[in-house]
């Protein structure tokens, strides 16, 4: 029975048709074209149009360079150059400013569960996650992680059967990222000016608080955006792999040894790329969610437990911090969870290929089992505190439990237990 291919599948078949003798193309159906030409597709990779050079960071790569957090020049043989010294001075100034801000906000002898206690926890832990975000940016730029990731991403992209230029266009994503980063700056700088005019600032350099807050917000937004950008790039490539292997399964191409082996090699490269990315991203997602979790709990506790004791303007700022902390938490968890979801989707595609299951070739059965085992047993997950693996189940559980811990504290406060 002849299949009617979708536009994406049509492009995949068109590549096959270009590799067949021209005089025969007009006389064959789509199914015959797949059967006759699929070997040519996988044996002539040089004839495919190569994808464009990845630019998954776009303008944020330039911002990293001029953020005062660029560690790319802190390498052997470059440490005593003029630019390296300037970069080192900038890093020391920015990090010191964030540390001073964190220290002035976090350490307090306030009574547990009091207004002051919750407020210092909220501001202190948000400053702490900014500090760790800054350290991550310095470490990533120093190790050349972004360049190495792009290089490996290019190697995976050339394995596509049919190139899709929209996959390599990150302009819309960059615009959305910039829009979502704005609240971080608005809340951080707004809170700094509120402290100045309300006389609530305790830092010895209160007048510089807006500038320090700007760089703290820059560290938070850059670390989060680059972290999510890596996961977005992985997601796009894995989704497209699943799309192409699903098309191959639909047209019964996976029963051809050359095709299945090619997809197996590509899957292996994708999982290796995920593992490489996770090794570098681990320093961010291991601890940052715990800081933002704590900030969310204290922020919701402030809103629900001390509504009558906080001014309207201060309440708006607290709600702003809760939104920012919740956004950072969601970004930390949902982005890698989507990667795991797409990796698992390959299992569903292979499990539902009845024709492949009935194949009697032992080598193909072995390749099939290897592909399944990679999905099931490869250590390609990020984890919080190196203890809790991040997937959709754990992410949704955390996003449900954390706010309810805050509401439990509010109930305890309302009952007069504290």
pLDDT 10s digits, 124-165: 999 999 999 999 999 999 999 999 999 999 999 888 888 777
* Better-scored residue on pLDDT, 178 or 208: 178
- The pLDDT of residue 228 is 96
Instruction: Tell me the percentage of the chain whose pLDDT exceeds 90.
Output: 44
How confident is residue 246, by pLDDT bands cut at 50, 70 and 90?
A: very high
DSSP state of 389: E
How confident is residue 25, by pLDDT bands cut at 50, 70 and 90?
A: very low
| Radius of gyration for the chain, computed over Cα atoms and rounded to the nearest angstrom | 26
Query: Across-strand partners of 251?
Result: none
User: Residue 185, Cα to own-chain centre: how many angstroms?
Assistant: 20
With beta carbons less than 8 A apart as the criterion, state whether 156 and 263 touch. Answer: no
Mean pLDDT of 16-36: 41
Question: Measured between alpha carbons, how far is 241 from 247 in angstroms, rounded to an integer?
Answer: 10
> Which range has the worst mean pLDDT, 51-60, 269-278, 325-334?
51-60
Rounded to 5°, angle at Cα 246 from 244 and 248 = 70
pLDDT of residue 32 exceeding 90, the answer is no
Alpha helices in 57-208 (DSSP H): 59-65, 82-106, 115-143, 145-157, 171-198
How confident is residue 9, by pLDDT bands cut at 50, 70 and 90?
A: low
Exposure string over 280-316, b if 16+ CB within 10 A, otherwise e:
bbeebbbbbbbbbbbbbbbbbbbbebbeeebeeebee
Query: Could you tell me the sign of the dihedral formed by the alpha carbons of 352, 356, 362, 368, in that order?
Result: negative
- The pLDDT of residue 24 is 40
- Average pLDDT over the chain reads 83
Instruction: Tell me the percentage of the chain whose pLDDT exceeds 70.
Output: 84
User: Which DSSP string corresponds to 164-175?
Assistant: -GGGG--HHHHH
How confident is residue 36, by pLDDT bands cut at 50, 70 and 90?
A: very low
User: Which DSSP string corresponds to 323-356?
Assistant: HHHHHHHHHHHHHHHHHHHHHHHHHHHHHT-HHH
Question: Measured between alpha carbons, how far is 2 from 21 in angstroms, rounded to an integer?
Answer: 21
């Amino acid at each position: 029975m002849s299949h009617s291919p979708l536009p994406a599948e049509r492009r995949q078949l068109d590549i096959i048709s270009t590799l067949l003798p021209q005089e025969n193309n007009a006389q064959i159906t789509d199914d015959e074209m797949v059967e006759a030409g699929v070997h040519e597709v996988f044996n002539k990779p040089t004839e495919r149009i190569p994808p464009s050079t990845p630019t998954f960071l776009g303008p944020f790569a330039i911002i990293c360079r001029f953020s005062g957090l660029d560690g790319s020049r802190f390498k052997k043989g470059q440490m005593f150059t003029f630019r390296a010294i300037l970069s080192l001075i900038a890093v020391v100034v920015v990090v010191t400013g964030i540390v001073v801000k964190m220290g002035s906000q976090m350490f307090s002898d306030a009574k547990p569960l009091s207004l002051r206690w919750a407020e210092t926890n909220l501001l202190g832990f948000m400053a702490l996650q900014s500090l760790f975000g800054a350290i991550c940016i310095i470490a990533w730029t120093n190790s050349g992680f972004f360049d190495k990731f792009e290089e490996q991403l290019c190697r995976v992209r050339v394995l596509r059967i049919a190139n899709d230029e929209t996959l390599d266009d990150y302009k819309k994503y960059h615009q959305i990222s910039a829009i979502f980063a704005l609240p971080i700056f608005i809340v951080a700088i707004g809170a700094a000016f509120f402290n100045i005019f309300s006389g609530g600032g305790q830092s010895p350099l209160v007048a510089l608080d807006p500038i320090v807050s700007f760089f703290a917000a820059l560290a938070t937004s850059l670390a989060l955006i680059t972290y999510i950008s890596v996961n977005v790039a992985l997601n796009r490539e894995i989704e497209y792999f699943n799309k192409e292997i699903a098309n191959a399964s639909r047209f019964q191409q996976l029963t051809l040894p050359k095709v299945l082996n090619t997809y197996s090699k590509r899957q292996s490269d994708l999982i290796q790329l995920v593992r490489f990315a996770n090794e570098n991203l681990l320093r961010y997602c291991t601890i940052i969610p715990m800081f933002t979790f704590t900030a969310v709990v204290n922020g919701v506790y402030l809103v629900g437990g001390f509504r009558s004791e906080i001014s309207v303007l201060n309440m708006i700022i607290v709600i702003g911090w809760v939104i920012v902390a919740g956004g950072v938490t969601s970004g930390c968890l949902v982005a890698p969870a989507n990667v795991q979801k797409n990796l698992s989707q390959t299992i569903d595609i292979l499990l539902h290929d009845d024709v492949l299951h009935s194949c009697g070739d032992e080598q193909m059965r072995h390749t099939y089992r290897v592909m399944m085992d990679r999905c099931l047993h490869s250590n390609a997950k990020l984890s919080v505190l190196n203890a809790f693996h991040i997937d959709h189940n754990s992410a949704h559980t955390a996003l449900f439990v954390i706010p309810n811990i805050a509401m439990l504290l509010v109930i305890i406060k309302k009952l007069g237990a504290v």
